[in-house]
Amino acid sequence: MPDRRGNWSIALVRHGATEWTATGQHTGATDIPLSDVGVKQAQCLGRHFARTFHGDLTRQYAYAFVSPKERAKQTCDVVLKLAGGKTLKVIEDRDLAEWNYGEYEGLTSAEIRKRDPAGEDWNVFIHGCPGGETAADVGKRVDRFLQRARELALSLDNPKNILAFSHGHVLRVLGARWIGLPPDHGRFLAYNTAAVSYLAFEHNNLNEPVLQEWNSVTHLVVEDCLQHEFECSF
């Protein structure tokens, strides 16, 4: 039977570019700030949300969840300032932190494939990282976040929508889990820096989760802020 309480959504925002996204280095625990390009991308995001929500994010959004990493918090701060969301309650959430790459922290995919037993077939979603996380580990984290977000949204009067500022790999797993796919299926969902996605429900039915929009970078293209990344996202 349809559950019509699905009249809310989650906007997923990946942080802007850093020096390591430009070089393709896996950035998990390392707390790197936004680069100059990343700051410009965050500003593009802020202006995009300001245009979309007429300069007042609080009309549509109740909370902003954010990873504890500086690059995500910087992006969140810029967006909320430019889009009229400074009064939103911001919740720092460790479950939105990036994948723990263990021994592969700071390495590019090419460097990893030279040392990992899987060789050229290595894929973080399939093989994980020694001393770090597997896709299943990340899946457990994003499931916890989604459960908290769901409970919060269902407890609120309007507005119910939620913002989440996080990282490329964890957002890809999050997208897969939203629609009931295994965590390793995140490998099929690309995610650019400063891109936006929307998780919602078809027919406002909680039993019909959908990816309403995924990896949107139109706001970056319009302002010439799109950065073409290396292959570290695989």
Strand order in 89-92's β-sheet?
Answer: 89-92, 61-66, 161-166, 10-14, 196-201, 209-216
Catalytic annotation present for 15? yes
Binding-site residue set for substrate: 27-28, 71, 98-101
Place of tokens 């699905």: 6
Please identify which of the residues 15, 167, 169, 185 carries the catalytic annotation. Answer: 15
Catalytic annotation present for 203? no
- The torsion defined by the Cα of 196, 197, 203 and 208, in degrees rounded to 10, comes to -160
Of 85, 61, 232, 66, nearest in space to 158 by CA:
61
CA distance 209 to 149: 14
User: Hey, what amino acid is at 18?
Assistant: T
Beta-sheet pairing, 89-92 with 61-66: parallel
Alpha helices in 33-134 (DSSP H): 36-52, 70-82, 109-115, 124-127
φ/ψ (deg, to 5) at 184: -70, -10
Please identify which of the residues 98, 133, 167, 185 carries the catalytic annotation. Answer: 98
Of 164, 161, 152, 107, nearest in space to 131 by CA:
107
148: Cβ contacts below 8 Å, ≥ 6 apart? 93
Residues annotated catalytic, as ranges:
15, 98
